[in-house]
Structure 1
Amino acid sequence: MTDVLRYTAFATDPAGGNPAGVVLDASALSDEQMLAIAAEVGYSESAFLTPGPDGVERSYRIRFFSPVAEVDFCGHATVATAVALGELRGTGEYTLHTNAGPVPVSVTERDGSLKATLTSVDPRVKDVARSDVDEALAALGWRADELDPAFPPRVSNAGVNQLILAAATRERLADLDYDFDRLRLLMEKLELTTVQLVWRESESVYHVRDPFPVGGVVEDAATGAAAAALGAYLRELDLVPEAARLILHQGYDMGRPSLLEVELRAGDRRVRVSGAAAAL
Protein backbone atom coordinates (compact mmCIF):
# COMPACT_ATOMS: atom_id res chain seq x y z
CA MET A 1 0.00 0.00 0.00
CA THR A 2 1.50 3.36 -1.05
CA ASP A 3 1.69 5.93 1.73
CA VAL A 4 0.08 9.12 0.45
CA LEU A 5 0.44 12.22 2.61
CA ARG A 6 -2.17 14.93 2.21
CA TYR A 7 -1.45 18.63 2.61
CA THR A 8 -3.18 21.84 1.68
CA ALA A 9 -0.80 24.44 0.22
CA PHE A 10 -0.84 28.22 0.50
CA ALA A 11 -2.84 28.14 3.73
CA THR A 12 -2.33 27.30 7.40
CA ASP A 13 -5.98 26.33 7.89
CA PRO A 14 -7.01 22.94 6.47
CA ALA A 15 -10.24 24.60 5.29
CA GLY A 16 -8.26 26.79 2.90
CA GLY A 17 -5.54 26.36 0.29
CA ASN A 18 -5.21 23.80 -2.48
CA PRO A 19 -4.91 20.14 -1.41
CA ALA A 20 -2.15 17.96 -2.84
CA GLY A 21 -1.18 14.35 -2.37
CA VAL A 22 2.49 13.70 -1.60
CA VAL A 23 4.30 10.36 -2.00
CA LEU A 24 7.78 10.70 -0.52
CA ASP A 25 9.06 7.40 -1.97
CA ALA A 26 7.67 6.53 -5.40
CA SER A 27 10.66 4.41 -6.45
CA ALA A 28 8.56 1.28 -6.91
CA LEU A 29 5.72 2.95 -8.82
CA SER A 30 5.19 2.94 -12.58
CA ASP A 31 3.77 5.89 -14.48
CA GLU A 32 0.43 4.11 -14.67
CA GLN A 33 0.41 3.51 -10.92
CA MET A 34 1.23 7.14 -10.15
CA LEU A 35 -1.58 8.30 -12.40
CA ALA A 36 -3.97 5.82 -10.77
CA ILE A 37 -3.01 7.03 -7.29
CA ALA A 38 -3.49 10.68 -8.34
CA ALA A 39 -6.92 9.81 -9.72
CA GLU A 40 -7.87 7.96 -6.54
CA VAL A 41 -6.67 10.82 -4.32
CA GLY A 42 -8.71 13.16 -6.51
CA TYR A 43 -6.84 16.41 -5.85
CA SER A 44 -5.86 18.69 -8.72
CA GLU A 45 -2.31 17.30 -8.45
CA SER A 46 -0.30 14.80 -6.47
CA ALA A 47 3.50 14.77 -6.22
CA PHE A 48 5.77 11.70 -6.37
CA LEU A 49 9.39 11.74 -5.18
CA THR A 50 12.33 9.54 -6.10
CA PRO A 51 16.07 10.05 -5.42
CA GLY A 52 17.62 12.94 -7.32
CA PRO A 53 19.59 12.33 -10.54
CA ASP A 54 22.74 13.84 -9.05
CA GLY A 55 22.87 11.65 -5.91
CA VAL A 56 23.20 14.75 -3.74
CA GLU A 57 21.60 14.88 -0.30
CA ARG A 58 18.29 16.78 -0.22
CA SER A 59 18.00 16.47 -4.00
CA TYR A 60 14.97 14.68 -5.44
CA ARG A 61 13.27 13.89 -8.71
CA ILE A 62 9.65 15.04 -8.48
CA ARG A 63 6.76 14.30 -10.84
CA PHE A 64 3.24 15.67 -10.75
CA PHE A 65 0.03 13.97 -11.83
CA SER A 66 -3.47 15.38 -12.07
CA PRO A 67 -6.34 12.88 -12.01
CA VAL A 68 -6.06 12.54 -15.80
CA ALA A 69 -2.48 13.33 -16.89
CA GLU A 70 1.08 14.14 -15.90
CA VAL A 71 1.89 17.85 -15.43
CA ASP A 72 5.44 19.12 -15.96
CA PHE A 73 5.37 21.51 -13.00
CA CYS A 74 2.96 22.22 -10.16
CA GLY A 75 3.63 24.98 -7.64
CA HIS A 76 1.18 24.07 -4.91
CA ALA A 77 2.26 20.42 -4.84
CA THR A 78 5.88 21.63 -4.72
CA VAL A 79 5.09 23.73 -1.64
CA ALA A 80 3.21 20.83 -0.05
CA THR A 81 6.11 18.46 -0.74
CA ALA A 82 8.68 20.91 0.60
CA VAL A 83 6.77 21.35 3.86
CA ALA A 84 6.42 17.56 4.18
CA LEU A 85 10.20 17.23 3.68
CA GLY A 86 10.77 20.02 6.20
CA GLU A 87 8.71 18.20 8.80
CA LEU A 88 10.54 14.93 8.16
CA ARG A 89 14.10 16.06 7.48
CA GLY A 90 14.31 19.62 8.77
CA THR A 91 14.28 23.14 7.42
CA GLY A 92 16.79 24.40 4.89
CA GLU A 93 17.47 24.05 1.18
CA TYR A 94 16.20 21.33 -1.14
CA THR A 95 16.39 20.82 -4.91
CA LEU A 96 13.44 19.30 -6.73
CA HIS A 97 14.14 18.14 -10.29
CA THR A 98 10.94 18.63 -12.30
CA ASN A 99 10.16 17.91 -15.95
CA ALA A 100 10.52 21.69 -16.48
CA GLY A 101 13.96 21.82 -14.85
CA PRO A 102 15.51 22.03 -11.38
CA VAL A 103 13.52 24.03 -8.81
CA PRO A 104 15.36 25.11 -5.64
CA VAL A 105 13.14 25.21 -2.57
CA SER A 106 13.83 26.78 0.81
CA VAL A 107 11.90 25.69 3.91
CA THR A 108 11.80 27.98 6.93
CA GLU A 109 9.98 27.97 10.26
CA ARG A 110 8.18 30.89 11.88
CA ASP A 111 5.87 30.83 14.88
CA GLY A 112 5.70 27.05 14.75
CA SER A 113 4.63 26.88 11.09
CA LEU A 114 6.70 25.86 8.09
CA LYS A 115 6.82 27.93 4.92
CA ALA A 116 8.30 27.00 1.56
CA THR A 117 9.73 29.26 -1.13
CA LEU A 118 10.25 27.84 -4.61
CA THR A 119 12.42 29.46 -7.26
CA SER A 120 11.07 28.99 -10.77
CA VAL A 121 12.94 28.03 -13.89
CA ASP A 122 13.77 30.92 -16.24
CA PRO A 123 10.39 32.25 -17.45
CA ARG A 124 9.31 33.31 -20.91
CA VAL A 125 6.37 35.40 -22.05
CA LYS A 126 4.92 35.35 -25.55
CA ASP A 127 2.07 36.87 -27.54
CA VAL A 128 -1.17 35.01 -28.10
CA ALA A 129 -3.26 35.18 -31.28
CA ARG A 130 -6.35 37.38 -31.15
CA SER A 131 -8.45 34.47 -32.40
CA ASP A 132 -7.32 32.35 -29.45
CA VAL A 133 -8.12 35.15 -27.00
CA ASP A 134 -11.57 35.47 -28.57
CA GLU A 135 -12.11 31.73 -28.20
CA ALA A 136 -11.03 31.83 -24.55
CA LEU A 137 -13.43 34.70 -23.88
CA ALA A 138 -16.24 32.83 -25.60
CA ALA A 139 -15.57 29.73 -23.48
CA LEU A 140 -15.51 31.85 -20.33
CA GLY A 141 -18.61 33.80 -21.29
CA TRP A 142 -16.67 37.07 -21.00
CA ARG A 143 -16.91 40.08 -23.31
CA ALA A 144 -13.80 41.76 -24.67
CA ASP A 145 -14.79 45.05 -23.02
CA GLU A 146 -14.73 43.29 -19.63
CA LEU A 147 -10.94 42.94 -19.86
CA ASP A 148 -8.55 45.45 -18.28
CA PRO A 149 -6.76 47.14 -21.22
CA ALA A 150 -3.71 47.79 -19.03
CA PHE A 151 -3.00 44.04 -18.97
CA PRO A 152 -2.81 42.63 -22.53
CA PRO A 153 -3.37 38.88 -22.90
CA ARG A 154 -0.19 36.82 -23.01
CA VAL A 155 0.97 33.26 -22.50
CA SER A 156 3.51 33.16 -19.67
CA ASN A 157 5.61 30.17 -18.69
CA ALA A 158 7.59 29.77 -15.47
CA GLY A 159 7.52 26.00 -15.73
CA VAL A 160 4.29 25.45 -17.68
CA ASN A 161 2.17 27.61 -20.00
CA GLN A 162 -0.52 29.87 -18.52
CA LEU A 163 -2.83 32.15 -20.51
CA ILE A 164 -3.18 35.39 -18.56
CA LEU A 165 -6.41 37.37 -18.88
CA ALA A 166 -7.12 40.38 -16.67
CA ALA A 167 -10.65 41.30 -15.62
CA ALA A 168 -11.54 44.98 -15.39
CA THR A 169 -13.63 44.47 -12.22
CA ARG A 170 -13.69 42.22 -9.18
CA GLU A 171 -17.30 41.38 -10.04
CA ARG A 172 -16.29 39.98 -13.43
CA LEU A 173 -13.64 37.80 -11.79
CA ALA A 174 -16.09 36.56 -9.15
CA ASP A 175 -18.65 35.41 -11.71
CA LEU A 176 -17.00 32.32 -13.18
CA ASP A 177 -19.27 29.88 -15.03
CA TYR A 178 -17.45 28.60 -18.09
CA ASP A 179 -17.83 26.00 -20.82
CA PHE A 180 -15.56 23.24 -19.48
CA ASP A 181 -15.10 21.26 -22.71
CA ARG A 182 -14.72 24.29 -24.95
CA LEU A 183 -12.02 25.80 -22.76
CA ARG A 184 -10.30 22.41 -22.41
CA LEU A 185 -10.04 22.03 -26.18
CA LEU A 186 -8.47 25.47 -26.55
CA MET A 187 -6.05 24.77 -23.73
CA GLU A 188 -5.01 21.49 -25.31
CA LYS A 189 -4.41 23.31 -28.60
CA LEU A 190 -2.23 25.96 -26.91
CA GLU A 191 -0.62 23.47 -24.48
CA LEU A 192 -1.83 25.44 -21.48
CA THR A 193 -1.90 24.13 -17.92
CA THR A 194 -4.32 26.70 -16.49
CA VAL A 195 -5.88 30.00 -17.48
CA GLN A 196 -4.81 32.67 -15.00
CA LEU A 197 -7.67 35.12 -14.51
CA VAL A 198 -6.52 38.26 -12.72
CA TRP A 199 -7.93 41.40 -11.13
CA ARG A 200 -5.59 44.08 -9.74
CA GLU A 201 -6.63 45.52 -6.38
CA SER A 202 -3.51 47.67 -5.96
CA GLU A 203 0.07 47.91 -7.19
CA SER A 204 1.08 44.90 -5.12
CA VAL A 205 -2.18 43.02 -4.44
CA TYR A 206 -3.95 40.81 -6.98
CA HIS A 207 -6.93 38.46 -6.95
CA VAL A 208 -6.66 35.42 -9.21
CA ARG A 209 -8.65 32.38 -10.34
CA ASP A 210 -7.43 29.40 -12.36
CA PRO A 211 -9.69 27.12 -14.41
CA PHE A 212 -7.96 23.75 -14.89
CA PRO A 213 -10.14 21.63 -17.22
CA VAL A 214 -7.14 19.91 -18.85
CA GLY A 215 -6.48 18.36 -15.44
CA GLY A 216 -10.09 17.29 -15.03
CA VAL A 217 -10.63 20.00 -12.41
CA VAL A 218 -13.02 22.96 -12.72
CA GLU A 219 -10.84 25.35 -10.73
CA ASP A 220 -7.64 25.40 -8.68
CA ALA A 221 -7.81 26.96 -5.21
CA ALA A 222 -4.13 27.98 -5.32
CA THR A 223 -1.80 27.74 -8.30
CA GLY A 224 1.88 28.34 -7.59
CA ALA A 225 2.98 27.78 -11.18
CA ALA A 226 0.51 30.40 -12.38
CA ALA A 227 1.65 32.78 -9.64
CA ALA A 228 5.21 32.48 -10.93
CA ALA A 229 4.00 32.99 -14.50
CA LEU A 230 2.05 36.08 -13.45
CA GLY A 231 5.11 37.56 -11.76
CA ALA A 232 7.15 37.03 -14.93
CA TYR A 233 4.37 38.55 -17.05
CA LEU A 234 4.03 41.65 -14.88
CA ARG A 235 7.76 42.30 -14.95
CA GLU A 236 8.09 41.57 -18.69
CA LEU A 237 5.40 44.16 -19.49
CA ASP A 238 6.81 46.73 -17.01
CA LEU A 239 3.62 46.61 -14.95
CA VAL A 240 5.62 46.26 -11.73
CA PRO A 241 9.17 47.30 -10.75
CA GLU A 242 12.04 44.95 -11.56
CA ALA A 243 12.23 44.17 -7.85
CA ALA A 244 8.83 43.72 -6.24
CA ARG A 245 6.84 41.76 -3.68
CA LEU A 246 3.29 40.82 -4.62
CA ILE A 247 0.40 39.25 -2.74
CA LEU A 248 -2.04 37.01 -4.62
CA HIS A 249 -5.42 36.08 -3.16
CA GLN A 250 -6.92 32.94 -4.64
CA GLY A 251 -9.65 30.47 -3.74
CA TYR A 252 -11.93 32.96 -1.98
CA ASP A 253 -14.72 32.65 -4.54
CA MET A 254 -14.74 28.87 -4.14
CA GLY A 255 -14.61 28.87 -0.35
CA ARG A 256 -10.93 27.87 0.04
CA PRO A 257 -8.97 31.06 0.75
CA SER A 258 -5.32 30.90 -0.25
CA LEU A 259 -2.42 33.33 0.07
CA LEU A 260 0.48 33.28 -2.39
CA GLU A 261 3.51 35.56 -2.11
CA VAL A 262 5.51 36.41 -5.21
CA GLU A 263 8.97 37.96 -5.15
CA LEU A 264 10.83 39.49 -8.09
CA ARG A 265 14.51 40.34 -7.68
CA ALA A 266 16.57 42.77 -9.73
CA GLY A 267 19.07 41.00 -11.95
CA ASP A 268 17.39 37.60 -11.60
CA ARG A 269 14.70 36.60 -14.12
CA ARG A 270 13.48 33.72 -11.99
CA VAL A 271 10.38 34.19 -9.85
CA ARG A 272 10.05 33.15 -6.22
CA VAL A 273 6.72 31.95 -4.86
CA SER A 274 6.16 31.38 -1.14
CA GLY A 275 3.45 29.87 0.95
CA ALA A 276 2.60 27.79 3.98
CA ALA A 277 1.07 24.31 4.00
CA ALA A 278 -0.98 22.34 6.51
CA ALA A 279 -1.41 18.60 6.89
CA LEU A 280 -4.90 17.25 6.20
Structure 2
Amino acid sequence: MTHAPEILRYAAFTSDPAGGNPAGIVLEADDLDDVAMLRIAGEIGFAETAFISDGAAGPRRVRFFSPHAEVPFCGHATVAGAIAIAEREGTGHVRFSTPVGDVDIETSEVDGALRAAFTSVEPHVEEMPAPVLDALLGLTGIPAEALDERHPPRIAFAGNRHPVLVVADEVYFDRFAFDPAEARALMDEHGWPATITVLHRLPDAGSDEHPGLRFEARNIFPVGAIIEDPATGAAAAAVGGYLRALGAVEPPARVVIRQGRHVGRPSELVVDIPERGGTVVSGTAVPIG
Protein backbone atom coordinates (compact mmCIF):
# COMPACT_ATOMS: atom_id res chain seq x y z
CA MET A 1 0.00 0.00 0.00
CA THR A 2 1.49 3.33 -1.04
CA HIS A 3 1.45 6.25 1.36
CA ALA A 4 -0.09 9.61 0.55
CA PRO A 5 2.55 12.00 -0.81
CA GLU A 6 3.66 14.93 1.32
CA ILE A 7 2.52 18.19 -0.24
CA LEU A 8 4.73 21.21 0.40
CA ARG A 9 3.95 24.83 -0.37
CA TYR A 10 6.63 27.42 -1.09
CA ALA A 11 6.75 31.04 -2.26
CA ALA A 12 9.44 31.48 -4.92
CA PHE A 13 11.53 34.53 -5.85
CA THR A 14 10.91 36.16 -2.49
CA SER A 15 11.95 35.98 1.15
CA ASP A 16 8.38 36.73 2.27
CA PRO A 17 5.81 33.89 2.35
CA ALA A 18 3.18 36.46 1.38
CA GLY A 19 5.14 37.52 -1.70
CA GLY A 20 6.53 35.84 -4.78
CA ASN A 21 4.86 33.00 -6.64
CA PRO A 22 3.35 30.11 -4.66
CA ALA A 23 4.35 26.65 -5.86
CA GLY A 24 3.24 23.24 -4.78
CA ILE A 25 6.04 20.73 -4.32
CA VAL A 26 5.54 16.96 -4.09
CA LEU A 27 8.71 15.01 -3.30
CA GLU A 28 8.95 11.24 -3.92
CA ALA A 29 6.22 11.48 -6.55
CA ASP A 30 7.35 8.34 -8.41
CA ASP A 31 4.09 6.43 -7.87
CA LEU A 32 1.74 9.17 -9.06
CA ASP A 33 0.14 8.94 -12.50
CA ASP A 34 -1.06 11.81 -14.69
CA VAL A 35 -4.58 11.76 -13.28
CA ALA A 36 -3.32 11.93 -9.69
CA MET A 37 -0.86 14.74 -10.46
CA LEU A 38 -3.50 16.85 -12.20
CA ARG A 39 -5.93 16.23 -9.35
CA ILE A 40 -3.38 17.26 -6.70
CA ALA A 41 -2.40 20.36 -8.68
CA GLY A 42 -6.07 21.31 -8.87
CA GLU A 43 -6.55 20.79 -5.14
CA ILE A 44 -3.52 22.95 -4.32
CA GLY A 45 -4.76 25.61 -6.73
CA PHE A 46 -1.41 27.31 -7.32
CA ALA A 47 -0.21 28.27 -10.80
CA GLU A 48 2.00 25.15 -10.88
CA THR A 49 2.95 22.19 -8.76
CA ALA A 50 6.21 20.27 -9.27
CA PHE A 51 6.18 16.48 -8.88
CA ILE A 52 9.73 15.32 -8.15
CA SER A 53 11.13 11.76 -8.07
CA ASP A 54 13.56 10.68 -5.37
CA GLY A 55 16.55 10.79 -7.76
CA ALA A 56 18.31 7.75 -6.28
CA ALA A 57 19.50 6.58 -9.70
CA GLY A 58 20.52 9.88 -11.30
CA PRO A 59 18.65 13.03 -12.33
CA ARG A 60 15.38 13.59 -10.52
CA ARG A 61 12.46 13.26 -12.90
CA VAL A 62 10.21 16.31 -12.59
CA ARG A 63 6.84 17.09 -14.11
CA PHE A 64 4.89 20.32 -13.72
CA PHE A 65 1.12 20.64 -13.61
CA SER A 66 -1.11 23.67 -13.43
CA PRO A 67 -4.73 23.13 -12.33
CA HIS A 68 -5.51 23.22 -16.07
CA ALA A 69 -2.95 20.86 -17.66
CA GLU A 70 0.64 19.70 -17.68
CA VAL A 71 3.19 22.47 -18.33
CA PRO A 72 6.49 21.55 -20.05
CA PHE A 73 8.61 23.68 -17.72
CA CYS A 74 8.08 25.94 -14.70
CA GLY A 75 10.88 28.11 -13.36
CA HIS A 76 9.44 29.18 -10.01
CA ALA A 77 8.53 25.60 -9.07
CA THR A 78 12.04 24.54 -10.13
CA VAL A 79 13.57 27.09 -7.74
CA ALA A 80 11.15 26.15 -4.95
CA GLY A 81 11.70 22.42 -5.48
CA ALA A 82 15.49 22.75 -5.45
CA ILE A 83 15.37 24.75 -2.22
CA ALA A 84 13.02 22.20 -0.62
CA ILE A 85 15.60 19.52 -1.48
CA ALA A 86 18.47 21.67 -0.17
CA GLU A 87 16.66 22.13 3.14
CA ARG A 88 16.52 18.35 3.52
CA GLU A 89 19.79 17.22 1.90
CA GLY A 90 22.09 20.24 1.96
CA THR A 91 23.12 22.73 -0.72
CA GLY A 92 24.93 21.91 -3.93
CA HIS A 93 24.08 20.66 -7.39
CA VAL A 94 20.90 18.93 -8.44
CA ARG A 95 19.72 17.96 -11.91
CA PHE A 96 16.07 17.84 -12.91
CA SER A 97 15.01 15.72 -15.88
CA THR A 98 12.05 17.67 -17.28
CA PRO A 99 9.86 17.24 -20.36
CA VAL A 100 11.99 19.87 -22.16
CA GLY A 101 15.35 18.35 -21.19
CA ASP A 102 17.74 18.24 -18.25
CA VAL A 103 17.95 21.40 -16.12
CA ASP A 104 20.90 21.95 -13.79
CA ILE A 105 20.34 23.83 -10.53
CA GLU A 106 22.86 25.11 -8.00
CA THR A 107 21.69 25.86 -4.48
CA SER A 108 23.67 27.90 -1.96
CA GLU A 109 23.25 29.85 1.24
CA VAL A 110 23.66 33.62 0.87
CA ASP A 111 23.33 35.90 3.91
CA GLY A 112 21.47 33.18 5.78
CA ALA A 113 18.95 32.52 3.00
CA LEU A 114 18.85 29.60 0.58
CA ARG A 115 19.13 30.57 -3.07
CA ALA A 116 18.71 28.49 -6.22
CA ALA A 117 19.97 29.18 -9.74
CA PHE A 118 18.80 27.09 -12.69
CA THR A 119 20.28 27.01 -16.18
CA SER A 120 17.61 26.85 -18.87
CA VAL A 121 17.68 24.75 -21.99
CA GLU A 122 19.06 26.49 -25.09
CA PRO A 123 16.89 29.55 -25.82
CA HIS A 124 15.68 30.56 -29.25
CA VAL A 125 13.63 33.47 -30.55
CA GLU A 126 11.03 33.63 -33.34
CA GLU A 127 9.56 36.54 -35.24
CA MET A 128 6.05 37.42 -34.11
CA PRO A 129 3.60 37.29 -37.03
CA ALA A 130 1.60 40.49 -37.51
CA PRO A 131 -1.79 38.79 -36.88
CA VAL A 132 -0.48 37.45 -33.55
CA LEU A 133 0.75 40.89 -32.51
CA ASP A 134 -2.60 42.39 -33.49
CA ALA A 135 -4.39 39.78 -31.38
CA LEU A 136 -2.17 40.50 -28.35
CA LEU A 137 -2.65 44.26 -28.65
CA GLY A 138 -6.38 43.71 -29.01
CA LEU A 139 -6.41 41.47 -25.95
CA THR A 140 -4.58 43.98 -23.73
CA GLY A 141 -5.81 47.24 -25.23
CA ILE A 142 -2.21 48.42 -25.60
CA PRO A 143 -1.79 50.60 -28.73
CA ALA A 144 1.09 49.79 -31.06
CA GLU A 145 2.60 53.24 -30.51
CA ALA A 146 3.00 52.46 -26.78
CA LEU A 147 5.48 49.64 -27.48
CA ASP A 148 9.19 50.13 -26.87
CA GLU A 149 11.00 50.48 -30.20
CA ARG A 150 14.23 49.26 -28.57
CA HIS A 151 12.66 45.88 -27.85
CA PRO A 152 10.45 44.64 -30.70
CA PRO A 153 7.80 41.95 -30.14
CA ARG A 154 9.04 38.38 -30.44
CA ILE A 155 8.18 34.86 -29.32
CA ALA A 156 10.94 33.60 -27.02
CA PHE A 157 11.64 30.06 -25.84
CA ALA A 158 13.72 28.73 -22.96
CA GLY A 159 11.54 25.76 -22.02
CA ASN A 160 8.16 27.26 -22.96
CA ARG A 161 7.19 29.56 -25.83
CA HIS A 162 6.39 33.03 -24.47
CA PRO A 163 5.16 35.93 -26.60
CA VAL A 164 7.06 39.00 -25.39
CA LEU A 165 5.79 42.58 -25.57
CA VAL A 166 7.81 45.49 -24.16
CA VAL A 167 5.74 48.58 -23.36
CA ALA A 168 7.51 51.95 -23.28
CA ASP A 169 4.54 53.81 -21.83
CA GLU A 170 4.37 53.14 -18.09
CA VAL A 171 0.71 54.18 -17.92
CA TYR A 172 -0.34 51.52 -20.43
CA PHE A 173 1.87 48.94 -18.68
CA ASP A 174 0.25 49.61 -15.31
CA ARG A 175 -3.32 49.92 -16.53
CA PHE A 176 -3.74 47.30 -19.23
CA ALA A 177 -6.44 44.73 -18.59
CA PHE A 178 -7.68 41.64 -20.41
CA ASP A 179 -10.49 39.13 -20.52
CA PRO A 180 -9.19 35.85 -18.99
CA ALA A 181 -11.35 33.63 -21.22
CA GLU A 182 -10.15 35.47 -24.33
CA ALA A 183 -6.54 35.18 -23.15
CA ARG A 184 -6.92 31.45 -22.50
CA ALA A 185 -8.46 30.90 -25.94
CA LEU A 186 -5.61 32.81 -27.62
CA MET A 187 -2.96 30.90 -25.67
CA ASP A 188 -4.53 27.53 -26.48
CA GLU A 189 -4.86 28.48 -30.15
CA HIS A 190 -1.14 29.22 -30.43
CA GLY A 191 0.15 26.50 -28.12
CA TRP A 192 1.51 28.82 -25.43
CA PRO A 193 1.46 26.60 -22.33
CA ALA A 194 2.72 29.17 -19.84
CA THR A 195 2.43 32.98 -19.94
CA ILE A 196 2.11 35.98 -22.19
CA THR A 197 4.97 38.22 -21.04
CA VAL A 198 4.56 42.00 -20.95
CA LEU A 199 7.59 44.05 -19.86
CA HIS A 200 8.40 47.65 -19.07
CA ARG A 201 12.05 48.73 -19.08
CA LEU A 202 12.83 50.70 -15.94
CA PRO A 203 14.72 53.97 -16.45
CA ASP A 204 17.54 53.50 -13.95
CA ALA A 205 20.74 51.67 -14.82
CA GLY A 206 20.59 49.34 -11.84
CA SER A 207 22.46 49.25 -8.56
CA ASP A 208 25.97 48.35 -7.44
CA GLU A 209 24.64 44.90 -6.49
CA HIS A 210 22.74 44.36 -9.76
CA PRO A 211 24.13 46.63 -12.52
CA GLY A 212 22.60 46.54 -15.97
CA LEU A 213 19.11 46.54 -17.41
CA ARG A 214 16.09 46.32 -15.13
CA PHE A 215 12.56 45.48 -16.15
CA GLU A 216 9.19 45.12 -14.52
CA ALA A 217 7.08 42.25 -15.81
CA ARG A 218 3.44 41.29 -15.92
CA ASN A 219 2.72 37.74 -17.03
CA ILE A 220 -0.78 36.90 -18.24
CA PHE A 221 -1.69 33.40 -17.03
CA PRO A 222 -5.42 32.63 -16.78
CA VAL A 223 -5.70 29.31 -14.92
CA GLY A 224 -8.71 28.83 -12.65
CA ALA A 225 -8.77 31.65 -10.10
CA ILE A 226 -5.35 32.85 -11.27
CA ILE A 227 -5.23 35.59 -13.90
CA GLU A 228 -1.71 37.04 -13.63
CA ASP A 229 1.42 35.20 -12.50
CA PRO A 230 3.40 36.83 -9.63
CA ALA A 231 6.84 35.49 -10.69
CA THR A 232 7.68 33.51 -13.81
CA GLY A 233 11.11 31.91 -13.94
CA ALA A 234 10.57 30.27 -17.34
CA ALA A 235 9.56 33.62 -18.83
CA ALA A 236 12.59 35.30 -17.23
CA ALA A 237 14.85 32.70 -18.86
CA ALA A 238 13.14 33.32 -22.20
CA VAL A 239 13.58 37.08 -21.78
CA GLY A 240 17.30 36.52 -21.25
CA GLY A 241 17.48 34.66 -24.55
CA TYR A 242 15.37 37.34 -26.20
CA LEU A 243 17.68 40.16 -25.06
CA ARG A 244 20.76 38.27 -26.22
CA ALA A 245 19.27 37.44 -29.62
CA LEU A 246 18.32 41.08 -30.22
CA GLY A 247 21.73 42.38 -29.14
CA ALA A 248 20.12 44.40 -26.34
CA VAL A 249 22.81 43.24 -23.89
CA GLU A 250 26.50 42.44 -24.23
CA PRO A 251 27.06 39.03 -22.63
CA PRO A 252 27.96 38.12 -20.01
CA ALA A 253 25.23 40.34 -18.65
CA ARG A 254 22.90 40.46 -15.68
CA VAL A 255 19.29 41.63 -15.85
CA VAL A 256 16.90 42.06 -12.92
CA ILE A 257 13.16 41.54 -13.38
CA ARG A 258 10.63 42.72 -10.84
CA GLN A 259 7.21 41.13 -10.96
CA GLY A 260 4.08 40.65 -8.89
CA ARG A 261 3.39 44.24 -7.82
CA HIS A 262 0.12 44.30 -9.72
CA VAL A 263 -1.20 41.22 -7.90
CA GLY A 264 0.11 42.11 -4.43
CA ARG A 265 2.91 39.50 -4.37
CA PRO A 266 6.16 41.33 -5.25
CA SER A 267 9.11 39.28 -6.43
CA GLU A 268 12.59 39.66 -7.90
CA LEU A 269 14.23 37.43 -10.50
CA VAL A 270 17.91 37.72 -11.43
CA VAL A 271 18.81 36.64 -14.97
CA ASP A 272 22.42 36.01 -15.96
CA ILE A 273 22.96 35.89 -19.72
CA PRO A 274 26.10 34.09 -20.93
CA GLU A 275 27.60 34.43 -24.38
CA ARG A 276 26.04 31.13 -25.42
CA GLY A 277 23.93 28.33 -23.99
CA GLY A 278 21.09 28.48 -21.50
CA THR A 279 20.30 31.53 -19.41
CA VAL A 280 20.61 31.34 -15.63
CA VAL A 281 17.72 32.44 -13.43
CA SER A 282 18.15 32.71 -9.69
CA GLY A 283 16.14 33.61 -6.61
CA THR A 284 15.10 32.59 -3.15
CA ALA A 285 12.12 30.60 -1.91
CA VAL A 286 10.54 30.11 1.51
CA PRO A 287 7.93 27.74 2.92
CA ILE A 288 4.36 28.98 3.19
CA GLY A 289 2.73 28.25 6.51
The TM-score normalised by the length of structure 1 is 0.95
C-alpha distance after superposition, 1:32-52 (max 9, x if no partner): 010000000000000001145
Alignment of structure 1 residues 36-75 onto 2, 5 Å: 36-52=39-55, 55-56=57-58, 59-75=59-75
Partner of 1:5: 8
Q: Is the 8 A contact 1:146 1:168 kept in 2?
A: yes
**Residue 234 of structure 2: which of 225, 239, 250 is its match?**
225
Q: Quick one: structure 1 residues 17 and 68, their matched pair in 2 at CA, closer, same or farther if it must change by over 3 Å?
A: same
- 2:168 pairs with 1:168: yes
Which residue of the partner structure matches residue 197 of structure 1?
Answer: 198
Paired with 2:223 and 2:102, the residues of 1 have a C-alpha distance of 24
1:274 aligns with 2:276: no
Structure 1 counterpart of 2:123, one-letter code: P
Asked if structure 2 preserves the Cα contact closer than 8 Å seen for 1:65 and 1:71, the reply is: yes
Percent identity among equivalent residues?
Answer: 43
**Partner Cα distance (1:120, 1:16) in 2:** 24
Say which SS state the counterpart of residue 53 (structure 2) adopts: strand
User: Hey, what's the Cα distance between the residues in 1 that align with 2:226 and 2:125?
Assistant: 25
CA distance in 1, matches of 2:120, 2:51: 19
Deviates more, 1:104-113 or 1:74-83: 104-113
CA contact (8 A) 2:67 2:223 kept: no
User: Aligned partners of 1:17 and 1:242: how far apart in 2?
Assistant: 27
User: 1:215, CA displacement in angstroms?
Assistant: 7.1
**Matches for 1:1-280 after TM superposition, within 5 Å:** 1-52=4-55, 55-56=57-58, 59-192=59-192, 193-202=194-203, 203-213=212-222, 217-266=226-275, 268-280=276-288
CA distance in 2, matches of 1:61, 1:241: 34
Root-mean-square deviation over aligned CA pairs: 1.4
Q: Distance in 2 between matches of 1:243 and 1:191?
A: 31
Q: Distance in 2 between matches of 1:210 and 1:187?
A: 12
Aligned residues: 276
Give 1:245 deviation, angstroms: 0.5
How many Å apart are 1:230 and its aligned residue?
0.3
SS at 1:270's partner residue?
A: coil
Letter in 1 for 2:40: I
State which drifts further: 83-92 or 193-202.
193-202
Contact 2:142-2:176 within 8 A present in 1 as well: no
- Mapped to 1, the partners of 2:18 and 2:61 lie a distance apart of 29
Deviations 1:59-82 (A, max 9, x none): 200000000100000000000000
Q: Deviations over 1:70-115 (max 9, x none)?
A: 0000000000000000001110000001101000000000122100
Matched-pair contact (CA < 8 Å) for 1:123–1:159: yes
Asked if 2 retains the 8 angstrom alpha-carbon contact of 1:187 and 1:214, the reply is no
Distance in 2 separating the partners of 1:215 and 1:72: 18
> Post-superposition, which runs of at least 4 consecutive aligned residues in structure 1 deviate over 3 A?
none
The gaps in structure 2 that reach 5 residues or longer are 204-211
Q: Give 1:213 shift.
A: 2.1
Alpha-carbon offset, residue 117 of structure 1:
0.1
Q: Could you tell me how far apart the structure 1 residues matched to 2:170 and 2:79 are?
A: 27
* Residue 269 (structure 1) shift: 2.3
Instruction: Give the Cα–Cα distance (whole angstroms) in 2 for the partners of residues 51 and 188 of structure 1.
Output: 33
C-alpha separation in 2, matches of 1:137 and 1:97: 36
Q: CA deviation at 1:191?
A: 1.3
Q: Distance in 2 between matches of 1:223 and 1:161?
A: 13
Asked if the contact 1:156–1:232 (Cα under 8 Å) also holds between the matched residues in 2, the reply is yes
